[in-house]
């Protein structure tokens, strides 16, 4: 008898076992949507996690994302919040795609209803990220120039940082952001190139640099920051973003750069476009990630609603 039962059991093909859970076209469409959503969210969560880390640690983005004087660079900017929403929403989406997959395969109508409600909430989170990142993208283009002029007024404003040939940031994030930007982008100033530093009565030359000097016994008022100067090697001060050495190996007389702003020895390209493009790049990452996630959520919701009509509660 046992042998006969074994024969009957062994005669059942894997296809018949699989048919115990009938997969309709609605099931297949929903499961494909879950796989798509899962893979897409893995990619966007990874991208937004890396972007959020850069946005929160990069001095240029942190400082110049603050568009108003009363803003706090340590607070999360709309750009950082956008990436955070994508990170949170994407992580929960990955979890709920697994739940949705189980609900579809097992024909669990109640679980599928919970899934659809959750995905609607996650869709709203991604939509919020789209609104934040798109508004910030536009705002940066309109207001960054004025913001940079405000920040330029605070460039080395509080302390005399030039001490014994060394540049001491003293936790001056604004000065650090300007120096790193001008060093890496080979630029100087805001919209009107390096002239911005010498024409504004509240700009760089009003800082306390005139209390210090590079050469002992020499007193002068510096009109341009060392990070605007070109060097013999084709690089500028500082030689790396963490350097505190002035490294003034300038072609010719250093006064031609620091005091006179001679274009031969001073970078004349405006920093505005390069800083704007750097910030906008991460705005585009957030906008793109949130848009793709939202599209995947819409597909999941539509296929889920079609499926729930034929799945028993």
Lowest mean pLDDT among 7-21, 147-161, 179-193: 7-21
Query: What is the tens place of the pLDDT at every residue in 52-105?
Result: 999 988 888 988 888 776 667 778 889 999 999 999 999 999 999 999 999 999
29 secondary structure, DSSP code: H
How confident is the prediction for the chain on average, in pLDDT? 76
Residue 1, exposed/middle/buried by CB under 10 A (0-12, 13-18, 19+)? exposed
Q: Which residues of 226-257 are buried (b: 16+ CB within 10 A; e: fewer)?
A: bbbbbbeeeebbbeeeeeeebbeebbeebbbb
d(CA 195, CA 34): 56
Report percent pLDDT > 90 for the chain.
Answer: 36
User: What is the predicted pLDDT for the residue at 199?
Assistant: 38
Q: Which residues contact 94 (CB under 8 A, 6 or more apart)?
A: 38, 41, 42, 45
12-16, 18-22, 214-218, 240-244: which is most confident: 18-22
- Cβ distance 279 to 51 under 8 Å? no
Q: Is the peptide bond before 225 cis (omega within 30 degrees of 0)?
A: no
Tokens 């934040």 map to which residue? 132
* pTM of the model as a whole: 0.76
Question: Does the pLDDT at position 49 exceed 50?
Answer: yes
Average pLDDT over residues 135-162: 73
User: What is the predicted pLDDT for the residue at 301?
Assistant: 95
- Cβ distance 45 to 83 under 8 Å? no
User: What is the predicted pLDDT for the residue at 231?
Assistant: 64
User: What is the predicted pLDDT for the residue at 249?
Assistant: 44
Q: How far is CA 222 from CA 16, 99, 212, in A?
A: 85, 64, 9
Give the CA-trace dihedral at 214, 219, 220, 221, to 10 degrees: 80
User: What is the predicted pLDDT for the residue at 299?
Assistant: 95
306 secondary structure, DSSP code: H
Average pLDDT over residues 113-142: 94
d(CA 259, CA 220): 8
Cα angle 143-53-144, degrees, rounded to a multiple of 5: 10
Phi, psi at 231, each rounded to 5° = -120, 170
- Cβ distance 186 to 269 under 8 Å? yes
d(CA 78, CA 234): 37
Average pLDDT over residues 170-184: 76
Closest by Cα among 157, 189, 152 to 172: 157
Question: Does the pLDDT at position 198 exceed 50?
Answer: no
Average pLDDT over residues 117-144: 93
Question: Does the pLDDT at position 107 exceed 80?
Answer: yes
Closest by Cα among 132, 130, 136, 129 to 65: 136
User: What is the predicted pLDDT for the residue at 9?
Assistant: 44
Query: What is the tens place of the pLDDT at every residue in 215-274?
Result: 444 555 667 777 777 765 544 444 443 434 444 444 345 667 777 777 777 787 888 889
User: What is the predicted pLDDT for the residue at 221?
Assistant: 61
């Amino acid at each position: 008898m046992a042998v006969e039962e074994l024969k009957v059991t062994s005669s059942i093909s894997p296809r018949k076992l699989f048919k115990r859970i009938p997969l309709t076209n609605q099931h297949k469409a929903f499961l494909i949507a879950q796989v798509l959503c899962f893979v897409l969210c893995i990619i966007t969560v990874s991208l937004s996690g890396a972007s959020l880390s850069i946005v929160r640690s990069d001095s240029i983005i942190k400082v110049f994302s603050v568009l108003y004087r009363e803003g706090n660079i340590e607070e999360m900017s709309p750009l950082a919040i956008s990436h955070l929403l994508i990170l949170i929403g994407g992580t929960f989406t990955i979890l709920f795609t697994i739940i949705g997959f189980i609900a579809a395969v097992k024909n669990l109508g109640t679980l599928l209803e919970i899934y659809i409600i959750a995905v609607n909430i996650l869709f709203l989170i991604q939509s919020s990220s789209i609104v934040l990142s798109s508004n910030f993208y536009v705002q940066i283009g309109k207001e960054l120039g004025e913001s940079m002029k405000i920040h330029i007024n605070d460039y080395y404003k509080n302390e005399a940082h030039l001490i014994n040939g060394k540049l001491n940031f003293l936790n001056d994030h604004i000065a650090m952001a300007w120096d790193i930007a001008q060093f890496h982008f080979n630029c100087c100033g805001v919209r009107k190139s390096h002239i911005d530093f010498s024409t504004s009565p509240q700009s760089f030359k009003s800082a306390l640099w005139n209390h210090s000097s590079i050469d002992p016994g020499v007193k002068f008022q510096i009109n341009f920051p060392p990070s605007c100067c070109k060097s013999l090697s084709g690089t500028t001060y500082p030689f790396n973003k963490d350097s505190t050495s002035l490294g003034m190996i300038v072609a010719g007389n250093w006064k031609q750069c620091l005091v006179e702003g001679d274009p031969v020895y001073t970078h004349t390209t405006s920093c505005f476009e390069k800083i704007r493009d750097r910030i906008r790049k991460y705005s585009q990452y957030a906008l793109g990630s949130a848009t793709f996630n939202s599209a995947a959520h819409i597909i999941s919701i539509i296929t889920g609603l079609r499926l729930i009509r034929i799945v028993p509660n």
